[in-house]
Structure 1
Amino acid sequence: MTRSVHIMNQENVNATLTVAVPAARVFAVLADPASHAAIDGTGWVQEAVNQAPLTEVGQIFRMDMHHADHPDGDYRVVNKVQVLDPPRAIGWLTGYDKGDGQLEFGGWIWRYDLTPLGPSKTEVTLTYDWSAVPDSVRAYLRFPPFGPDHLINSLRHLAELVPGR
Protein backbone atom coordinates (compact mmCIF):
# COMPACT_ATOMS: atom_id res chain seq x y z
CA MET A 1 0.00 0.00 0.00
CA THR A 2 1.51 3.32 -1.03
CA ARG A 3 0.06 6.63 0.00
CA SER A 4 0.42 10.33 -0.43
CA VAL A 5 -1.40 13.38 0.86
CA HIS A 6 -1.46 16.66 -1.03
CA ILE A 7 -2.94 20.06 -0.42
CA MET A 8 -3.41 21.22 -3.99
CA ASN A 9 -4.46 24.78 -3.23
CA GLN A 10 -6.66 26.80 -0.87
CA GLU A 11 -9.84 25.28 -2.30
CA ASN A 12 -9.33 21.51 -2.16
CA VAL A 13 -7.33 18.73 -0.56
CA ASN A 14 -6.69 15.19 -1.74
CA ALA A 15 -5.00 11.96 -0.79
CA THR A 16 -3.98 8.95 -2.84
CA LEU A 17 -3.58 5.31 -1.86
CA THR A 18 -2.79 2.26 -3.99
CA VAL A 19 -4.78 -0.85 -3.04
CA ALA A 20 -4.33 -4.45 -4.18
CA VAL A 21 -7.92 -4.77 -5.39
CA PRO A 22 -9.51 -4.39 -8.86
CA ALA A 23 -11.08 -0.98 -9.58
CA ALA A 24 -14.55 -2.49 -10.09
CA ARG A 25 -14.56 -3.89 -6.53
CA VAL A 26 -13.38 -0.57 -5.07
CA PHE A 27 -16.08 1.26 -7.05
CA ALA A 28 -18.80 -1.16 -5.85
CA VAL A 29 -17.94 -0.41 -2.21
CA LEU A 30 -17.94 3.36 -2.82
CA ALA A 31 -21.29 3.11 -4.63
CA ASP A 32 -22.82 1.38 -1.58
CA PRO A 33 -23.97 4.06 0.90
CA ALA A 34 -24.17 1.42 3.65
CA SER A 35 -20.34 1.19 3.54
CA HIS A 36 -19.73 4.93 3.99
CA ALA A 37 -19.76 4.90 7.81
CA ALA A 38 -17.02 2.25 7.80
CA ILE A 39 -14.96 4.25 5.28
CA ASP A 40 -15.30 7.66 6.98
CA GLY A 41 -12.06 8.84 8.56
CA THR A 42 -13.67 11.32 10.99
CA GLY A 43 -16.25 9.11 12.68
CA TRP A 44 -18.99 11.62 11.82
CA VAL A 45 -20.89 9.36 9.37
CA GLN A 46 -23.21 7.16 11.42
CA GLU A 47 -25.57 5.32 9.09
CA ALA A 48 -26.97 5.44 5.57
CA VAL A 49 -30.65 6.37 5.56
CA ASN A 50 -30.92 5.43 1.88
CA GLN A 51 -29.09 2.17 1.24
CA ALA A 52 -29.76 1.69 -2.49
CA PRO A 53 -26.55 1.54 -4.55
CA LEU A 54 -25.55 4.76 -6.29
CA THR A 55 -26.36 4.23 -9.96
CA GLU A 56 -27.03 7.62 -11.57
CA VAL A 57 -26.04 11.28 -11.56
CA GLY A 58 -28.63 13.30 -9.64
CA GLN A 59 -29.47 10.43 -7.27
CA ILE A 60 -30.12 11.60 -3.70
CA PHE A 61 -28.95 9.67 -0.65
CA ARG A 62 -29.10 10.71 2.99
CA MET A 63 -26.73 9.97 5.88
CA ASP A 64 -27.22 10.23 9.61
CA MET A 65 -24.27 12.06 11.13
CA HIS A 66 -22.87 13.04 14.52
CA HIS A 67 -20.45 15.83 15.36
CA ALA A 68 -19.82 17.14 18.87
CA ASP A 69 -19.58 20.74 17.58
CA HIS A 70 -22.84 20.57 15.59
CA PRO A 71 -25.67 22.50 17.33
CA ASP A 72 -27.80 19.34 17.46
CA GLY A 73 -25.00 16.77 17.83
CA ASP A 74 -26.91 14.32 15.64
CA TYR A 75 -28.00 15.56 12.23
CA ARG A 76 -28.74 14.34 8.72
CA VAL A 77 -27.08 15.32 5.47
CA VAL A 78 -28.41 14.99 1.95
CA ASN A 79 -25.98 13.96 -0.78
CA LYS A 80 -26.50 14.32 -4.52
CA VAL A 81 -24.48 12.19 -6.92
CA GLN A 82 -22.52 14.59 -9.13
CA VAL A 83 -20.06 12.21 -10.85
CA LEU A 84 -20.69 8.57 -11.76
CA ASP A 85 -18.32 6.90 -14.21
CA PRO A 86 -17.97 3.23 -13.20
CA PRO A 87 -15.39 2.03 -12.33
CA ARG A 88 -13.30 5.21 -12.64
CA ALA A 89 -14.99 8.04 -10.70
CA ILE A 90 -17.76 8.72 -8.22
CA GLY A 91 -18.56 11.91 -6.32
CA TRP A 92 -21.32 13.74 -4.51
CA LEU A 93 -22.31 17.16 -3.22
CA THR A 94 -23.33 17.39 0.43
CA GLY A 95 -26.16 19.54 1.73
CA TYR A 96 -29.32 19.42 3.80
CA ASP A 97 -33.10 19.35 3.63
CA LYS A 98 -34.45 22.81 4.49
CA GLY A 99 -37.49 21.19 6.13
CA ASP A 100 -39.92 22.17 3.38
CA GLY A 101 -38.86 19.50 0.88
CA GLN A 102 -36.28 21.82 -0.69
CA LEU A 103 -32.68 20.64 -0.72
CA GLU A 104 -29.76 23.01 -0.38
CA PHE A 105 -26.16 22.13 -1.13
CA GLY A 106 -23.24 24.01 0.40
CA GLY A 107 -20.91 23.80 -2.59
CA TRP A 108 -18.46 21.12 -1.41
CA ILE A 109 -17.95 17.80 -3.17
CA TRP A 110 -16.42 14.47 -2.22
CA ARG A 111 -14.87 12.69 -5.21
CA TYR A 112 -13.05 9.39 -5.65
CA ASP A 113 -10.99 8.80 -8.80
CA LEU A 114 -9.90 5.21 -9.48
CA THR A 115 -7.00 4.38 -11.78
CA PRO A 116 -6.48 0.67 -12.54
CA LEU A 117 -2.80 -0.27 -12.25
CA GLY A 118 -3.31 -3.76 -13.65
CA PRO A 119 -5.99 -6.41 -13.11
CA SER A 120 -5.77 -6.44 -9.31
CA LYS A 121 -4.34 -3.06 -8.27
CA THR A 122 -6.00 0.36 -8.13
CA GLU A 123 -4.79 3.85 -7.33
CA VAL A 124 -7.56 5.65 -5.41
CA THR A 125 -7.54 9.44 -5.07
CA LEU A 126 -10.02 11.05 -2.69
CA THR A 127 -10.60 14.78 -3.20
CA TYR A 128 -12.57 17.16 -1.00
CA ASP A 129 -13.25 20.35 -2.99
CA TRP A 130 -14.87 23.43 -1.48
CA SER A 131 -14.15 25.85 -4.34
CA ALA A 132 -17.88 26.39 -5.03
CA VAL A 133 -18.78 27.24 -1.41
CA PRO A 134 -20.31 30.74 -1.28
CA ASP A 135 -18.97 33.40 1.09
CA SER A 136 -22.21 33.25 3.10
CA VAL A 137 -21.39 29.64 4.09
CA ARG A 138 -17.68 30.33 4.57
CA ALA A 139 -18.66 32.98 7.12
CA TYR A 140 -19.74 30.28 9.60
CA LEU A 141 -18.00 27.06 8.43
CA ARG A 142 -14.25 26.50 8.33
CA PHE A 143 -12.84 24.63 5.30
CA PRO A 144 -11.79 21.95 5.34
CA PRO A 145 -13.84 21.06 8.44
CA PHE A 146 -11.50 18.19 9.40
CA GLY A 147 -7.82 17.63 10.08
CA PRO A 148 -5.20 16.66 7.50
CA ASP A 149 -5.33 12.94 8.34
CA HIS A 150 -9.03 12.52 7.50
CA LEU A 151 -8.61 11.74 3.81
CA ILE A 152 -5.78 9.22 4.19
CA ASN A 153 -7.65 7.61 7.12
CA SER A 154 -10.70 7.24 4.89
CA LEU A 155 -8.60 5.63 2.17
CA ARG A 156 -7.02 3.24 4.70
CA HIS A 157 -10.50 2.25 5.90
CA LEU A 158 -11.56 1.71 2.29
CA ALA A 159 -8.48 -0.46 1.66
CA GLU A 160 -9.34 -2.60 4.72
CA LEU A 161 -13.01 -2.90 3.73
CA VAL A 162 -12.77 -3.71 0.02
CA PRO A 163 -11.03 -7.13 0.09
CA GLY A 164 -13.82 -8.56 2.25
CA ARG A 165 -16.58 -7.44 -0.11
Structure 2
Amino acid sequence: MDQERLTATRTFALPAAQVFAVLADPAAHAAIDGTGWVREPVDQAPLTEAGQVFRMNMYHPNHPDGGYRTANKVDALDPPRTIAWLTGQEKDDGRLEFGGWFWRYDLVPLTPDTTEVTLTYDWSAVPPSIREYLSFPPFGPEHLPNSLRHLAEIAAAR
Protein backbone atom coordinates (compact mmCIF):
# COMPACT_ATOMS: atom_id res chain seq x y z
CA MET A 1 0.00 0.00 0.00
CA ASP A 2 1.24 3.46 -0.76
CA GLN A 3 -0.29 6.51 0.84
CA GLU A 4 -3.39 6.77 -1.35
CA ARG A 5 -3.56 3.49 -3.23
CA LEU A 6 -4.09 -0.16 -2.33
CA THR A 7 -3.27 -3.05 -4.63
CA ALA A 8 -3.55 -6.80 -4.43
CA THR A 9 -2.45 -9.41 -6.96
CA ARG A 10 -3.47 -13.03 -7.41
CA THR A 11 -2.77 -15.64 -10.07
CA PHE A 12 -5.87 -17.35 -11.44
CA ALA A 13 -5.82 -20.76 -13.12
CA LEU A 14 -8.19 -19.35 -15.74
CA PRO A 15 -7.94 -17.63 -19.12
CA ALA A 16 -7.98 -13.83 -19.02
CA ALA A 17 -11.13 -13.63 -21.17
CA GLN A 18 -13.07 -15.77 -18.67
CA VAL A 19 -12.05 -13.53 -15.76
CA PHE A 20 -12.69 -10.35 -17.74
CA ALA A 21 -16.22 -11.50 -18.64
CA VAL A 22 -17.09 -11.61 -14.92
CA LEU A 23 -15.66 -8.13 -14.32
CA ALA A 24 -17.63 -6.73 -17.25
CA ASP A 25 -20.89 -8.09 -15.78
CA PRO A 26 -22.35 -5.62 -13.23
CA ALA A 27 -24.54 -8.42 -11.84
CA ALA A 28 -21.39 -10.13 -10.52
CA HIS A 29 -20.04 -7.10 -8.65
CA ALA A 30 -21.90 -7.71 -5.37
CA ALA A 31 -20.49 -11.23 -5.10
CA ILE A 32 -16.98 -10.04 -6.02
CA ASP A 33 -17.10 -7.26 -3.42
CA GLY A 34 -18.14 -9.39 -0.48
CA THR A 35 -18.68 -6.51 2.01
CA GLY A 36 -22.45 -6.47 1.63
CA TRP A 37 -22.24 -2.82 0.54
CA VAL A 38 -22.67 -3.54 -3.18
CA ARG A 39 -26.16 -4.88 -3.73
CA GLU A 40 -27.64 -5.23 -7.22
CA PRO A 41 -27.03 -3.42 -10.47
CA VAL A 42 -29.55 -0.87 -11.65
CA ASP A 43 -28.05 -1.08 -15.14
CA GLN A 44 -27.63 -4.73 -16.15
CA ALA A 45 -25.89 -4.30 -19.52
CA PRO A 46 -22.35 -5.68 -19.78
CA LEU A 47 -19.58 -3.09 -19.67
CA THR A 48 -18.38 -2.65 -23.23
CA GLU A 49 -16.81 0.79 -23.62
CA ALA A 50 -15.04 3.61 -21.85
CA GLY A 51 -17.49 6.33 -20.85
CA GLN A 52 -20.30 3.86 -20.17
CA VAL A 53 -22.16 4.55 -16.91
CA PHE A 54 -23.55 1.80 -14.74
CA ARG A 55 -25.45 2.33 -11.52
CA MET A 56 -25.42 0.07 -8.49
CA ASN A 57 -27.70 -0.10 -5.49
CA MET A 58 -25.62 0.00 -2.33
CA TYR A 59 -26.02 -0.29 1.42
CA HIS A 60 -23.82 0.87 4.27
CA PRO A 61 -24.95 1.06 7.90
CA ASN A 62 -23.03 4.34 8.40
CA HIS A 63 -24.60 6.02 5.36
CA PRO A 64 -27.27 8.57 6.39
CA ASP A 65 -29.89 6.75 4.31
CA GLY A 66 -28.52 3.21 4.71
CA GLY A 67 -29.38 2.38 1.11
CA TYR A 68 -28.04 4.57 -1.68
CA ARG A 69 -27.04 4.37 -5.33
CA THR A 70 -23.69 4.90 -7.02
CA ALA A 71 -23.12 5.95 -10.61
CA ASN A 72 -19.93 4.41 -11.97
CA LYS A 73 -18.25 5.58 -15.16
CA VAL A 74 -16.04 3.16 -17.05
CA ASP A 75 -12.69 4.93 -17.27
CA ALA A 76 -10.63 2.25 -19.03
CA LEU A 77 -11.72 -0.81 -20.96
CA ASP A 78 -9.30 -2.97 -22.94
CA PRO A 79 -10.68 -6.53 -23.09
CA PRO A 80 -9.38 -8.84 -21.72
CA ARG A 81 -6.60 -6.84 -20.06
CA THR A 82 -7.97 -3.77 -18.26
CA ILE A 83 -11.21 -2.52 -16.79
CA ALA A 84 -11.56 0.47 -14.46
CA TRP A 85 -14.31 2.74 -13.22
CA LEU A 86 -14.77 5.94 -11.28
CA THR A 87 -17.36 5.85 -8.52
CA GLY A 88 -19.73 8.73 -7.95
CA GLN A 89 -23.35 9.70 -7.76
CA GLU A 90 -26.07 11.07 -9.94
CA LYS A 91 -27.52 14.37 -8.80
CA ASP A 92 -31.26 15.12 -8.94
CA ASP A 93 -30.73 17.04 -12.19
CA GLY A 94 -29.07 13.99 -13.81
CA ARG A 95 -25.55 15.40 -13.58
CA LEU A 96 -22.87 12.90 -12.58
CA GLU A 97 -20.39 13.80 -9.86
CA PHE A 98 -17.37 11.66 -9.01
CA GLY A 99 -15.57 11.59 -5.68
CA GLY A 100 -12.00 11.09 -6.87
CA TRP A 101 -11.56 7.34 -6.27
CA PHE A 102 -11.47 4.50 -8.77
CA TRP A 103 -11.32 0.72 -9.04
CA ARG A 104 -9.06 -0.91 -11.62
CA TYR A 105 -8.38 -4.50 -12.62
CA ASP A 106 -5.32 -5.33 -14.73
CA LEU A 107 -5.16 -8.83 -16.18
CA VAL A 108 -1.90 -10.28 -17.50
CA PRO A 109 -2.19 -13.61 -19.34
CA LEU A 110 0.76 -15.72 -18.15
CA THR A 111 -0.25 -18.74 -20.25
CA PRO A 112 -3.44 -19.41 -22.23
CA ASP A 113 -5.01 -20.78 -19.03
CA THR A 114 -3.33 -18.69 -16.31
CA THR A 115 -3.88 -15.01 -15.57
CA GLU A 116 -2.33 -12.64 -13.08
CA VAL A 117 -4.95 -10.17 -11.82
CA THR A 118 -4.10 -6.95 -10.00
CA LEU A 119 -6.86 -5.01 -8.27
CA THR A 120 -6.17 -1.35 -7.47
CA TYR A 121 -8.23 1.00 -5.33
CA ASP A 122 -6.95 4.58 -5.68
CA TRP A 123 -8.27 7.60 -3.79
CA SER A 124 -5.47 10.05 -4.64
CA ALA A 125 -7.82 12.48 -6.42
CA VAL A 126 -10.34 12.77 -3.55
CA PRO A 127 -10.68 16.48 -2.70
CA PRO A 128 -10.35 17.80 0.87
CA SER A 129 -14.10 18.54 1.03
CA ILE A 130 -14.90 14.81 0.76
CA ARG A 131 -12.02 13.76 3.03
CA GLU A 132 -13.65 15.85 5.79
CA TYR A 133 -16.47 13.32 6.14
CA LEU A 134 -15.14 10.09 4.55
CA SER A 135 -12.00 8.25 5.60
CA PHE A 136 -9.94 6.30 3.10
CA PRO A 137 -9.75 3.50 2.52
CA PRO A 138 -13.27 2.80 3.80
CA PHE A 139 -12.51 -0.90 4.38
CA GLY A 140 -9.84 -3.06 6.01
CA PRO A 141 -6.64 -4.35 4.37
CA GLU A 142 -8.17 -7.78 3.72
CA HIS A 143 -10.81 -6.40 1.36
CA LEU A 144 -8.83 -6.43 -1.91
CA PRO A 145 -7.37 -9.95 -1.47
CA ASN A 146 -10.85 -11.20 -0.51
CA SER A 147 -12.35 -9.58 -3.62
CA LEU A 148 -9.78 -11.32 -5.82
CA ARG A 149 -10.57 -14.63 -4.13
CA HIS A 150 -14.29 -14.10 -4.78
CA LEU A 151 -13.58 -13.16 -8.40
CA ALA A 152 -11.54 -16.34 -8.90
CA GLU A 153 -14.34 -18.48 -7.46
CA ILE A 154 -17.04 -16.81 -9.59
CA ALA A 155 -14.97 -16.98 -12.79
CA ALA A 156 -14.11 -20.66 -12.19
CA ALA A 157 -17.80 -21.51 -11.78
CA ARG A 158 -18.78 -19.93 -15.13
Q: How many residues align?
A: 158
Provide the residue aligned with 1:28 in structure 2. Answer: 21
The SS at the match of 1:106 is strand
Stretches of structure 2 lacking an aligned partner (at least 5 in a row) = none
Specify the code of the residue in structure 2 equivalent to 1:83. A
Provide the residue aligned with 1:132 in structure 2. Answer: 125
Provide the residue aligned with 2:75 in structure 1. Answer: 82
Identity %: 72
Aligned with 1:99 (options 92, 98, 101): 92
Q: TM-score, normalised by structure 2?
A: 0.98
Displacement, 1:41?
A: 3.0
Provide the residue aligned with 2:144 in structure 1. Answer: 151
The SS at the match of 1:117 is strand
The SS at the match of 1:72 is coil
Specify the code of the residue in structure 1 equivalent to 2:13. A
Cα RMSD over matched residues? 0.7
Provide the residue aligned with 2:134 in structure 1. Answer: 141
Deviation string for 1:37-71 (max 9, x for gaps)?
A: 11003221000110101001000000000111111
Deviation string for 1:78-127 (max 9, x for gaps)?
A: 00000101111000000001111111000100000001110101111000
1:52 aligns with 2:22: no
Specify the code of the residue in structure 2 equivalent to 1:96. Q
Q: TM-score, normalised by structure 1?
A: 0.94
Q: Stretches of 4+ moved more than 6 A in 1? A: none
Distance 2:9 2:131 in 1: 26
